[in-house]
Amino acid sequence: MNRYFFIVFTTGISICASAQQKEIELDPITITATLTPKSALTTGRNIILIKGEQINKLPVNSIDELIRYLPGVEVQSRGPMGAQSNITIRGGTFQQVLIILDGIRLNDPLSGHFNSYIPIAPAEIDRIEILKGASSAVYGTEAVGGVVHIITKTFAAQKGKQQHKLNAQVTAGEYGLRNAQAGFSWQKNKTAVAGGLLQNVADGQPLRGTNGFFNLTTISLSAKQYINDKISIAYRGAYDDRNFNAQNFYTNILTDSATERVITRWHHLNFTYQHKKHRFSFDGGAKDASDKYQFRKSAVANTNRSNLYQALALHNYNFNKKSSLTSGVQLIERSVQSNNRGNHSITTAGVFVILNQQIAEHFTINPALRVDWNERAGLELIPQLNLSYRYEKLQLRASAGRSTRDADFTERFNNYQPATVAAGNRIGNPDLEAENAFSYEAGADYLFTNELKVSAGWFQRYHNGLIDYVSTPYSNMPRQVNLIPGATYSLAKNIDKVNTKGIETDIQYSKTFSANHTLIAAMGFVWINSKSSDSIPSLYVSNHAKYFTNFSVQYRYKFISIAINGLYKQRRPQTGNPAFVPVSKDYFLMNARLEGHFIENKLGVFIQADNVFNRRYSDILGTVMPNRWLMGGIKVSL
């Protein structure tokens, strides 16, 4: 461990810098923490921002792979290049991170495993904002460990600008890999339009008796129109189709030769009115997802269809330059139709208010209060307080708040419909109560120069009733209707108490030496310790990394550039898994890309290696991830 950590740490320190286009912002304007544009160093929160153009410059092939290398964010992958990943922040389970696209939520009501299926082409992304820590007072359920907010070019477009961009990239590699990315954005005066395509296809590397194939396609299109100086309307539609080998994604059974296909359709309509001190917006979103999972060819497929409908109304009033008040109303309806889980629906609603108040010259306070209503759990009161003190280049920050999460339909009803359920499978529990937690954090950010920012902080989260899967014998199962006597299953249950604490450090540095000489890098390190009151270890609480560091580096000199991503993680060893699906206790990964730039940067030619050191590893349950993968391609930017 020490040798790998030294490599990562010295790499991150000695090659820290950024490029002319500021892909990594050291003091960005963010909307994620307070829903109104604020300097990140006045929000009282730890926020990382990265521009969408990075996905074409780093050795990554999908949005979740890009997020994987952002400081302090752990992505637990089941499959490569967007097949499936779990995003975790600060030791939370993957259901405890809220994914937001242009202000409204994406988290799937069927299962948190689908949260990384983000229906947006990379070409449409303006920036990604990562907010670490609890934010349920602003966003409601699931914003426990943090928030991943993706803001697109069209929805971020401001009236009066003119720009035209077109880019395309094709990649080919080992194991039948074919990758295509393409996109455009066009804006003139009051009209903005953008669209894009991302496709990853491969026959896949060899697995146990099969190949890890995938066929992943995302298409998105958006438009925004300013009706006049006060009113704008924006719309996005997207189609996301992911078909892949899912061997041991959900079980550790030898006969598992599963395949899965998830198709998502996404619609989002925004109306905004802004005049003088008032800003009002209304967002409506509709998500339809169909999932077909087949354990093996001879088995009956699980077919699930989930729907997420939501409406969000926001009003912001600026009293003056130092004070503003944001209030909102949110309505969400979730439903599922499944031959495995049955047919169910649930409605939730919330009202909230956020005060942004600057006191004197250096001190900012952001209290927030939310009241959530859930037809299962009733009313929940969710407070949050963020404090920030900024003096010259130093920011001191602190935050405390409550967060909640209700069980998804898989946790409540998994395997309730089949006639018989084999031993070792996960069983839902309809009597699950909502999780609740209280989180504290304190930290500091320091801008040593306009090029170097170092952040460090401490956090702690006290959980009551955290939902996780626990190994349970048949005799202790609350429902035994379709179970096998004497068998053991993984039962979803509320764990009495879980205490998570940790320390995190982020380093970002930006430097432009000349027009043809730049360097970009960022690095994060996290130590996390979780203790549970349950004597039997649960699945996901014990799976997060105890020591975790990740980094990304880009260096360009004239027409040659090199980009490197890497991560190291160490976690407690997992017991009970069969030898054919081991879970890696620790591993170090690195991806690299070498690129040549020609014709005034309009043409690029690159070669890339994923998993450079050919590390055999697995993140969850023992799903085997790919060995070294070589590829190359060309890209055009106009």
Q: What is the pLDDT of residues 189-220, one digit of tens each?
A: 899 999 999 999 999 999 998 999 999 999 99
pLDDT attached to residue 159: 85
Q: Quick one: average pLDDT of 607-631? A: 91
- Convert the pLDDT of each residue in 133-187 to its tens digit: 999 999 999 999 999 999 999 999 988 888 889 999 999 999 999 999 999 999 9
Tell me the C-alpha distance between 570 and 59, whole Å: 23
First-to-last CA distance in the chain?
44
Could you give the percent of the chain with pLDDT greater than 70?
94
pLDDT attached to residue 7: 36
SS3 411: helix
The rounded radius of gyration (Å) of the Cα atoms in the chain is 23
Query: Closest Cα to residue 239, out of 216, 259, 270, 214?
Result: 216
Tell me the C-alpha distance between 518 and 539, whole Å: 44
pLDDT surpasses 60 at 69: yes
Residue pair 95/142 in contact by the 8 Å Cβ criterion:
yes
- Convert the pLDDT of each residue in 87-135 to its tens digit: 999 988 888 999 999 999 999 999 988 889 999 999 999 999 999 999 9
pLDDT attached to residue 331: 97
* pTM of the predicted protein model: 0.92
13 sits in the region (left: phi over 0; alpha: psi -120 to 50; else beta) called: alpha
CATH number of the domain that 192 lies in? 2.40.170.20
Lowest mean pLDDT among 10-14, 392-396, 555-559, 631-635: 10-14
- Convert the pLDDT of each residue in 285-303 to its tens digit: 999 999 999 998 888 899 9
Task: Please report, for residues 51, 66, 70, the alpha-carbon distance to residue 28 in angstroms, rounded to integers and kept in the order given.
Answer: 11, 19, 15
pLDDT surpasses 60 at 402: yes
The helix or strand, by DSSP H or E, that contains position 65, with its residue range, turns out to be helix 63-68
At residue 22 the predicted structure's pLDDT band, cuts being 50, 70 and 90, is low
Lookup: tokens for 195: 């669209």
pLDDT attached to residue 373: 95
pLDDT attached to residue 5: 37
At residue 386 the predicted structure's pLDDT band, cuts being 50, 70 and 90, is very high
pLDDT surpasses 80 at 224: yes
For 86-126, give the DSSP string. Answer: EEEETT--GGGEEEEETTEE---SS-GGGTT-----GGGEE
pLDDT attached to residue 14: 34
pLDDT attached to residue 512: 87
Could you give the percent of the chain with pLDDT greater than 90?
67
CA 213 to chain centre: 23
Q: How confident is the prediction for the chain on average, in pLDDT? A: 89
Q: 150: Cβ–Cβ under 8 A, 6 or more apart, which residues?
A: 63, 99, 100, 101, 102, 118, 120, 125, 128
SS3 347: strand
Tell me the C-alpha distance between 571 and 558, whole Å: 41
Task: Please report, for residues 374, 385, 423, 498, 563, the alpha-carbon distance to residue 542 in angstroms, rounded to integers and kept in the order given.
Answer: 29, 29, 22, 11, 33
Dihedral of alpha carbons 63, 64, 69, 70, sign: positive
pLDDT surpasses 80 at 259: yes
Q: What angle do CA 246, 128, 609 make, to 5 degrees?
A: 50
Look-up of token digits 């549970």: 532
How many folded domains does the chain comprise? Answer: 1
pLDDT surpasses 60 at 603: yes
pLDDT attached to residue 20: 39
Single-letter amino acid, residue 316: N
pLDDT surpasses 50 at 19: no
At residue 514 the predicted structure's pLDDT band, cuts being 50, 70 and 90, is confident
The helix or strand, by DSSP H or E, that contains position 608, with its residue range, turns out to be strand 603-610
pLDDT surpasses 50 at 12: no
Residue pair 415/382 in contact by the 8 Å Cβ criterion:
no
pLDDT attached to residue 343: 97
Tell me the C-alpha distance between 173 and 537, whole Å: 41
Q: Quick one: average pLDDT of 352-358? A: 95
User: Which is more confident, 620 or 615?
Assistant: 615
pLDDT surpasses 70 at 3: no
pLDDT attached to residue 1: 41
Query: Closest Cα to residue 149, out of 40, 282, 222?
Result: 40
At residue 561 the predicted structure's pLDDT band, cuts being 50, 70 and 90, is very high
Domain that holds residue 436: 2-637
Residue 448 DSSP class: S
Query: Closest Cα to residue 425, out of 338, 487, 339, 495?
Result: 487
pLDDT surpasses 80 at 577: no
pLDDT attached to residue 129: 93
- Convert the pLDDT of each residue in 409-448 to its tens digit: 999 999 999 999 988 889 999 999 999 999 999 999 998 8
Which of 231-240, 581-590, 617-626 reaches the highest mean pLDDT?
Answer: 231-240
Lookup: tokens for 446: 């320091």
Q: Quick one: average pLDDT of 478-498? A: 92
Q: Quick one: average pLDDT of 595-612? A: 93
